[in-house]
Amino acid sequence: MPTISNKGNLMPESPIRKLVPYAEMAKNKGTKVFHLNIGQPDIETPRSAIDAVKNSDIRVLAYSKSEGNLELRSKICEYYDKFNIKINETDVIVTSGASEALLFTIGSIMDPDDEIIIPEPFYANYSGFSVANGVNIVPIYSSLENNFALPKIEEFENLISSKTKAILICNPNNPTGYVYSRDEIKRLIKIAVKHDLFIIADEVYREFTYEQTVHTSIMEFEEVSQNSIVVDSVSKRYSMCGARIGCIISKNKQFINTAMKFAQARLSPPTLAQIASTAAMDTGEEYFKSIIDEYNNRRLTLINGLKKIPLVKVSEPKGAFYCVVELPVKNSEDFAKWLLEEYSFNNQTIMIAPAGGFYSTPNTGTNQVRIAYVLKKSDLETCITILKNGLKEYLKR
Protein backbone atom coordinates (compact mmCIF):
# COMPACT_ATOMS: atom_id res chain seq x y z
CA MET A 1 0.00 0.00 0.00
CA PRO A 2 1.43 3.48 -0.86
CA THR A 3 2.56 5.51 2.14
CA ILE A 4 1.94 9.09 3.15
CA SER A 5 4.91 11.46 3.48
CA ASN A 6 6.44 12.17 6.86
CA LYS A 7 5.69 15.84 6.18
CA GLY A 8 2.04 14.95 5.63
CA ASN A 9 1.89 13.03 8.89
CA LEU A 10 3.48 15.95 10.73
CA MET A 11 1.02 18.53 9.37
CA PRO A 12 -1.08 19.67 12.33
CA GLU A 13 -4.85 19.82 12.30
CA SER A 14 -6.33 23.28 12.67
CA PRO A 15 -7.64 23.89 16.21
CA ILE A 16 -9.97 26.42 14.60
CA ARG A 17 -11.55 23.98 12.15
CA LYS A 18 -10.97 20.41 13.36
CA LEU A 19 -14.08 20.34 15.55
CA VAL A 20 -16.34 21.31 12.63
CA PRO A 21 -17.75 17.73 12.30
CA TYR A 22 -18.91 17.93 15.93
CA ALA A 23 -20.58 21.27 15.24
CA GLU A 24 -22.30 19.83 12.17
CA MET A 25 -23.64 16.92 14.22
CA ALA A 26 -24.99 19.35 16.81
CA LYS A 27 -26.72 21.37 14.10
CA ASN A 28 -28.19 18.19 12.60
CA LYS A 29 -29.77 17.49 15.98
CA GLY A 30 -31.41 20.91 15.85
CA THR A 31 -29.04 22.69 18.24
CA LYS A 32 -28.07 26.26 17.40
CA VAL A 33 -24.29 26.64 17.42
CA PHE A 34 -22.67 30.03 18.06
CA HIS A 35 -19.28 30.11 16.33
CA LEU A 36 -16.67 31.67 18.59
CA ASN A 37 -13.94 29.51 17.05
CA ILE A 38 -13.19 31.41 13.85
CA GLY A 39 -12.36 35.00 12.93
CA GLN A 40 -15.10 35.38 10.35
CA PRO A 41 -16.46 38.92 10.72
CA ASP A 42 -20.22 39.41 10.35
CA ILE A 43 -19.61 42.99 9.18
CA GLU A 44 -20.83 43.60 5.64
CA THR A 45 -18.21 43.75 2.89
CA PRO A 46 -18.00 47.24 1.34
CA ARG A 47 -20.68 47.47 -1.34
CA SER A 48 -18.14 48.93 -3.76
CA ALA A 49 -16.20 45.64 -3.74
CA ILE A 50 -19.26 43.55 -4.58
CA ASP A 51 -20.43 46.03 -7.23
CA ALA A 52 -17.01 46.12 -8.90
CA VAL A 53 -17.32 42.42 -9.66
CA LYS A 54 -21.02 42.57 -10.59
CA ASN A 55 -20.47 45.48 -12.96
CA SER A 56 -17.31 44.15 -14.56
CA ASP A 57 -17.43 43.97 -18.37
CA ILE A 58 -14.73 41.27 -18.57
CA ARG A 59 -15.31 38.94 -21.53
CA VAL A 60 -12.37 36.63 -20.90
CA LEU A 61 -11.44 35.87 -17.28
CA ALA A 62 -7.70 35.78 -17.92
CA TYR A 63 -4.62 35.29 -15.79
CA SER A 64 -3.37 38.36 -13.98
CA LYS A 65 0.32 39.17 -13.52
CA SER A 66 2.12 36.83 -11.14
CA GLU A 67 2.90 39.76 -8.85
CA GLY A 68 -0.73 40.95 -9.00
CA ASN A 69 -2.43 43.65 -11.02
CA LEU A 70 -0.66 47.00 -11.09
CA GLU A 71 -3.84 48.85 -10.11
CA LEU A 72 -4.18 46.85 -6.89
CA ARG A 73 -0.50 47.18 -6.02
CA SER A 74 -0.79 50.96 -6.55
CA LYS A 75 -3.77 51.07 -4.19
CA ILE A 76 -1.76 49.15 -1.59
CA CYS A 77 1.01 51.76 -1.87
CA GLU A 78 -1.54 54.57 -1.43
CA TYR A 79 -2.95 52.82 1.61
CA TYR A 80 0.47 52.60 3.28
CA ASP A 81 1.20 56.22 2.41
CA LYS A 82 -1.59 57.18 4.83
CA PHE A 83 0.66 55.81 7.60
CA ASN A 84 3.67 57.67 6.20
CA ILE A 85 5.15 54.38 5.00
CA LYS A 86 6.67 54.93 1.56
CA ILE A 87 6.68 51.88 -0.70
CA ASN A 88 6.35 51.42 -4.45
CA GLU A 89 4.63 48.82 -6.59
CA THR A 90 7.82 46.77 -7.02
CA ASP A 91 7.94 46.24 -3.23
CA VAL A 92 4.59 44.39 -3.34
CA ILE A 93 3.58 40.89 -4.43
CA VAL A 94 -0.13 40.09 -4.34
CA THR A 95 -0.90 36.61 -3.02
CA SER A 96 -3.86 34.31 -2.53
CA GLY A 97 -4.44 35.43 1.03
CA ALA A 98 -1.93 36.10 3.79
CA SER A 99 -1.50 32.33 4.04
CA GLU A 100 0.16 32.12 0.64
CA ALA A 101 2.20 35.22 1.51
CA LEU A 102 3.62 33.40 4.53
CA LEU A 103 4.28 30.22 2.54
CA PHE A 104 6.19 32.23 -0.10
CA THR A 105 8.09 34.11 2.61
CA ILE A 106 9.22 31.06 4.54
CA GLY A 107 10.10 29.26 1.30
CA SER A 108 12.16 32.24 0.11
CA ILE A 109 14.29 32.81 3.20
CA MET A 110 14.58 29.39 4.85
CA ASP A 111 15.88 25.92 4.03
CA PRO A 112 14.83 22.62 5.61
CA ASP A 113 15.90 22.41 9.27
CA ASP A 114 16.35 26.17 9.55
CA GLU A 115 14.71 27.78 12.55
CA ILE A 116 12.17 30.55 13.05
CA ILE A 117 11.49 32.09 16.46
CA ILE A 118 7.83 32.83 17.21
CA PRO A 119 6.32 34.09 20.48
CA GLU A 120 3.66 31.61 21.56
CA PRO A 121 0.71 31.30 21.56
CA PHE A 122 0.67 32.10 17.84
CA TYR A 123 -1.70 31.78 14.88
CA ALA A 124 -2.06 28.02 14.56
CA ASN A 125 -1.39 27.85 10.81
CA TYR A 126 2.17 29.12 11.34
CA SER A 127 2.88 25.52 12.39
CA GLY A 128 1.45 24.19 9.13
CA PHE A 129 3.38 26.69 7.01
CA SER A 130 6.61 25.72 8.79
CA VAL A 131 6.02 21.98 8.45
CA ALA A 132 5.23 22.43 4.74
CA ASN A 133 8.69 23.98 4.29
CA GLY A 134 10.55 21.59 6.61
CA VAL A 135 11.31 24.49 8.95
CA ASN A 136 11.54 24.21 12.74
CA ILE A 137 9.63 26.60 14.99
CA VAL A 138 11.51 27.68 18.10
CA PRO A 139 8.81 28.97 20.43
CA ILE A 140 9.34 31.68 23.01
CA TYR A 141 6.72 31.59 25.73
CA SER A 142 4.56 34.61 26.49
CA SER A 143 2.20 34.48 29.43
CA LEU A 144 -1.42 35.31 30.10
CA GLU A 145 -0.23 36.63 33.47
CA ASN A 146 1.34 39.69 31.82
CA ASN A 147 -1.21 39.80 28.98
CA PHE A 148 1.16 38.09 26.51
CA ALA A 149 3.69 40.94 26.35
CA LEU A 150 6.88 40.44 24.34
CA PRO A 151 9.42 38.32 26.27
CA LYS A 152 12.70 39.92 27.32
CA ILE A 153 15.40 40.41 24.72
CA GLU A 154 17.67 38.02 26.64
CA GLU A 155 15.16 35.23 26.17
CA PHE A 156 15.23 35.74 22.41
CA GLU A 157 19.01 35.80 22.28
CA ASN A 158 19.24 32.56 24.27
CA LEU A 159 17.28 30.84 21.48
CA ILE A 160 19.24 32.15 18.51
CA SER A 161 21.47 29.59 16.81
CA SER A 162 23.36 29.27 13.53
CA LYS A 163 20.12 27.93 12.00
CA THR A 164 17.96 30.87 13.07
CA LYS A 165 16.81 32.87 10.05
CA ALA A 166 13.85 34.92 11.23
CA ILE A 167 11.56 36.12 13.99
CA LEU A 168 7.84 36.09 13.21
CA ILE A 169 5.29 38.21 15.04
CA CYS A 170 1.60 38.87 14.53
CA ASN A 171 0.75 42.47 15.42
CA PRO A 172 -2.01 42.95 16.57
CA ASN A 173 -1.81 39.36 17.70
CA ASN A 174 -3.95 36.42 16.81
CA PRO A 175 -4.86 34.64 19.15
CA THR A 176 -4.10 36.94 22.10
CA GLY A 177 -5.18 40.38 20.88
CA TYR A 178 -1.90 41.82 22.18
CA VAL A 179 -0.56 44.93 20.40
CA TYR A 180 3.24 45.28 20.49
CA SER A 181 4.37 48.68 21.68
CA ARG A 182 6.81 50.86 19.77
CA ASP A 183 9.45 50.02 22.37
CA GLU A 184 8.89 46.29 21.86
CA ILE A 185 9.22 46.66 18.09
CA LYS A 186 12.48 48.55 18.61
CA ARG A 187 13.75 45.69 20.79
CA LEU A 188 13.00 43.23 17.99
CA ILE A 189 14.79 45.46 15.50
CA LYS A 190 17.84 45.54 17.75
CA ILE A 191 17.93 41.73 17.79
CA ALA A 192 17.42 41.47 14.02
CA VAL A 193 20.22 43.89 13.21
CA LYS A 194 22.63 42.38 15.73
CA HIS A 195 22.10 38.80 14.49
CA ASP A 196 21.30 39.59 10.83
CA LEU A 197 17.81 38.08 10.94
CA PHE A 198 14.61 38.77 9.06
CA ILE A 199 11.63 40.12 10.96
CA ILE A 200 8.34 38.90 9.49
CA ALA A 201 5.38 40.93 10.71
CA ASP A 202 1.87 39.65 10.10
CA GLU A 203 -0.06 42.94 10.28
CA VAL A 204 -3.46 41.92 8.93
CA TYR A 205 -5.29 43.33 11.99
CA ARG A 206 -3.57 46.74 11.81
CA GLU A 207 -6.85 48.72 11.87
CA PHE A 208 -8.31 47.01 14.91
CA THR A 209 -6.87 48.62 18.03
CA TYR A 210 -8.70 49.89 21.11
CA GLU A 211 -8.31 52.21 24.11
CA GLN A 212 -6.03 54.63 22.22
CA THR A 213 -3.57 51.81 21.57
CA VAL A 214 -1.34 52.63 18.58
CA HIS A 215 -0.14 50.04 16.07
CA THR A 216 3.55 50.24 15.10
CA SER A 217 4.64 48.69 11.82
CA ILE A 218 8.15 47.41 11.27
CA MET A 219 8.00 49.24 7.93
CA GLU A 220 8.26 52.53 9.83
CA PHE A 221 11.94 51.88 10.59
CA GLU A 222 14.11 52.54 7.56
CA GLU A 223 17.26 51.29 9.30
CA VAL A 224 15.86 47.76 9.20
CA SER A 225 14.28 47.90 5.74
CA GLN A 226 16.45 45.07 4.39
CA ASN A 227 15.43 42.80 7.28
CA SER A 228 11.71 43.58 7.21
CA ILE A 229 8.91 41.60 5.57
CA VAL A 230 5.27 42.52 6.10
CA VAL A 231 2.38 40.18 5.42
CA ASP A 232 -1.00 41.82 4.88
CA SER A 233 -4.50 40.95 3.69
CA VAL A 234 -7.91 42.39 2.82
CA SER A 235 -9.70 39.56 4.64
CA LYS A 236 -10.34 41.14 8.03
CA ARG A 237 -9.87 44.79 7.11
CA TYR A 238 -12.75 44.81 4.63
CA SER A 239 -14.58 41.68 5.82
CA MET A 240 -13.54 39.87 2.63
CA CYS A 241 -12.20 36.55 3.93
CA GLY A 242 -13.54 34.70 0.90
CA ALA A 243 -11.67 36.91 -1.56
CA ARG A 244 -8.37 35.30 -0.57
CA ILE A 245 -6.25 38.32 -1.42
CA GLY A 246 -3.15 39.17 0.59
CA CYS A 247 0.32 40.50 -0.12
CA ILE A 248 3.98 40.49 0.78
CA ILE A 249 5.72 43.84 1.23
CA SER A 250 9.47 44.32 1.51
CA LYS A 251 12.17 46.71 0.33
CA ASN A 252 14.65 43.85 0.19
CA LYS A 253 14.90 43.33 -3.59
CA GLN A 254 16.69 39.99 -3.33
CA PHE A 255 13.84 38.66 -1.19
CA ILE A 256 11.13 40.08 -3.48
CA ASN A 257 12.85 38.64 -6.57
CA THR A 258 13.00 35.24 -4.88
CA ALA A 259 9.37 35.36 -3.74
CA MET A 260 8.42 36.24 -7.33
CA LYS A 261 9.67 32.82 -8.43
CA PHE A 262 7.18 31.22 -6.06
CA ALA A 263 4.50 33.58 -7.36
CA GLN A 264 5.27 32.62 -10.96
CA ALA A 265 5.14 28.91 -10.09
CA ARG A 266 1.55 29.27 -8.89
CA LEU A 267 0.79 31.46 -11.95
CA SER A 268 -1.31 34.33 -10.54
CA PRO A 269 -3.70 35.49 -7.82
CA PRO A 270 -7.44 35.39 -8.67
CA THR A 271 -8.52 38.13 -11.07
CA LEU A 272 -12.08 38.82 -9.85
CA ALA A 273 -10.93 38.96 -6.23
CA GLN A 274 -8.30 41.54 -7.17
CA ILE A 275 -10.98 43.67 -8.84
CA ALA A 276 -13.07 43.50 -5.66
CA SER A 277 -10.06 44.27 -3.46
CA THR A 278 -8.99 47.25 -5.56
CA ALA A 279 -12.47 48.76 -5.19
CA ALA A 280 -12.56 48.02 -1.45
CA MET A 281 -9.37 49.98 -0.88
CA ASP A 282 -11.17 53.21 -1.75
CA THR A 283 -13.34 52.71 1.35
CA GLY A 284 -13.38 55.81 3.57
CA GLU A 285 -12.28 56.15 7.18
CA GLU A 286 -15.88 56.32 8.43
CA TYR A 287 -16.24 52.64 7.55
CA PHE A 288 -13.40 51.75 9.91
CA LYS A 289 -14.52 54.08 12.68
CA SER A 290 -17.93 52.45 12.93
CA ILE A 291 -16.48 48.93 12.73
CA ILE A 292 -13.84 49.59 15.39
CA ASP A 293 -16.48 51.06 17.70
CA GLU A 294 -18.62 47.96 17.14
CA TYR A 295 -15.74 45.56 17.86
CA ASN A 296 -14.76 47.52 20.94
CA ASN A 297 -18.28 47.16 22.33
CA ARG A 298 -18.15 43.44 21.63
CA ARG A 299 -14.71 43.20 23.24
CA LEU A 300 -15.91 44.87 26.43
CA THR A 301 -19.06 42.74 26.51
CA LEU A 302 -17.05 39.52 26.24
CA ILE A 303 -14.21 40.43 28.60
CA ASN A 304 -16.46 41.84 31.32
CA GLY A 305 -18.78 38.84 31.05
CA LEU A 306 -15.97 36.28 31.21
CA LYS A 307 -14.48 37.95 34.29
CA LYS A 308 -17.72 37.22 36.16
CA ILE A 309 -17.45 33.46 35.61
CA PRO A 310 -15.80 31.77 38.62
CA LEU A 311 -12.26 30.40 38.10
CA VAL A 312 -11.99 31.80 34.58
CA LYS A 313 -8.99 33.95 33.61
CA VAL A 314 -9.01 36.10 30.50
CA SER A 315 -6.43 38.22 28.71
CA GLU A 316 -7.34 41.82 27.92
CA PRO A 317 -6.90 42.26 24.17
CA LYS A 318 -6.04 45.71 22.88
CA GLY A 319 -6.28 44.73 19.21
CA ALA A 320 -7.66 42.28 16.62
CA PHE A 321 -10.83 40.48 17.79
CA TYR A 322 -9.63 37.51 19.81
CA CYS A 323 -8.78 36.70 23.38
CA VAL A 324 -7.23 33.72 25.14
CA VAL A 325 -9.24 32.37 28.05
CA GLU A 326 -8.01 30.03 30.78
CA LEU A 327 -10.72 27.64 31.98
CA PRO A 328 -10.94 25.50 35.15
CA VAL A 329 -10.61 22.30 33.07
CA LYS A 330 -7.69 19.95 32.43
CA ASN A 331 -8.36 19.50 28.73
CA SER A 332 -10.03 22.31 26.81
CA GLU A 333 -10.36 20.19 23.67
CA ASP A 334 -12.37 17.59 25.58
CA PHE A 335 -14.54 20.40 26.97
CA ALA A 336 -15.02 21.93 23.52
CA LYS A 337 -16.13 18.56 22.11
CA TRP A 338 -18.46 18.00 25.06
CA LEU A 339 -20.13 21.37 24.46
CA LEU A 340 -20.95 20.25 20.92
CA GLU A 341 -21.68 16.56 21.49
CA GLU A 342 -23.50 16.45 24.80
CA TYR A 343 -24.49 19.91 26.01
CA SER A 344 -27.01 22.53 25.09
CA PHE A 345 -28.60 25.40 26.97
CA ASN A 346 -32.05 26.33 25.71
CA ASN A 347 -31.18 24.20 22.66
CA GLN A 348 -28.08 26.34 22.01
CA THR A 349 -24.35 25.76 22.41
CA ILE A 350 -21.01 27.34 21.49
CA MET A 351 -18.01 26.31 19.42
CA ILE A 352 -14.65 27.42 20.81
CA ALA A 353 -11.08 26.81 19.62
CA PRO A 354 -8.87 24.76 22.00
CA ALA A 355 -5.70 26.77 22.54
CA GLY A 356 -3.24 23.87 22.66
CA GLY A 357 -3.00 24.13 18.86
CA PHE A 358 -1.77 27.73 19.18
CA TYR A 359 1.34 26.56 21.06
CA SER A 360 4.38 24.71 19.75
CA THR A 361 5.57 23.57 23.16
CA PRO A 362 3.94 20.20 23.98
CA ASN A 363 1.30 20.11 26.73
CA THR A 364 1.01 23.90 26.84
CA GLY A 365 -2.25 25.82 26.72
CA THR A 366 -4.26 22.65 27.28
CA ASN A 367 -6.60 24.45 29.70
CA GLN A 368 -7.04 27.48 27.45
CA VAL A 369 -9.29 28.39 24.52
CA ARG A 370 -9.31 31.16 21.95
CA ILE A 371 -12.56 33.08 21.60
CA ALA A 372 -13.29 35.36 18.63
CA TYR A 373 -15.66 38.21 19.46
CA VAL A 374 -17.03 38.50 15.94
CA LEU A 375 -20.69 38.09 16.91
CA LYS A 376 -23.12 40.86 17.79
CA LYS A 377 -23.39 41.94 21.42
CA SER A 378 -26.65 40.10 22.21
CA ASP A 379 -25.23 36.84 20.84
CA LEU A 380 -22.05 37.26 22.88
CA GLU A 381 -24.13 37.74 26.02
CA THR A 382 -25.95 34.49 25.22
CA CYS A 383 -22.59 32.75 24.63
CA ILE A 384 -21.30 33.87 28.02
CA THR A 385 -24.37 32.40 29.68
CA ILE A 386 -23.92 29.12 27.77
CA LEU A 387 -20.23 28.95 28.76
CA LYS A 388 -20.94 29.72 32.42
CA ASN A 389 -23.65 27.07 32.72
CA GLY A 390 -21.73 24.62 30.57
CA LEU A 391 -18.67 24.84 32.82
CA LYS A 392 -20.84 24.26 35.86
CA GLU A 393 -22.31 21.10 34.33
CA TYR A 394 -18.99 19.85 32.95
CA LEU A 395 -17.23 20.17 36.30
CA LYS A 396 -19.94 18.11 38.01
CA ARG A 397 -19.09 15.03 35.94
**pLDDT number for residue 249:** 98
Closest by CA to 352, choosing from 330, 367, 336, is 336
Residue 128 has pLDDT above 90, yes or no: yes
> pLDDT band at 41, cuts 50/70/90?
confident
Instruction: Provide the whole-model pTM.
Output: 0.95
Give yes or no for residue 190 having a pLDDT over 80.
yes
C-alpha span between 40 and 12 (Å, rounded)? 21
157 band by pLDDT with thresholds 50, 70 and 90:
very high
pLDDT exceeds cutoff 90 at 91: yes
User: In whole angstroms, what is the distance from residue 234 CA to residue 213 CA?
Assistant: 21
For the chain, which domains are there?
A: 6-44+286-396 (3.90.1150.10), 58-280 (3.40.640.10)
Average pLDDT rounded to a whole number, residues 110-133 = 96
Strand partners, 33: 349
For residues 364-392, give the mean pLDDT.
97
* Structure-model confidence comparison of residues 156 and 16, the more confident one: 156
The pLDDT confidence band at residue 54, using thresholds 50, 70 and 90, is very high
Spatial contact of 217 and 203, defined as CB atoms under 8 Å apart: yes
pLDDT of res. 8: 87
Percent of the chain with pLDDT over 90: 93
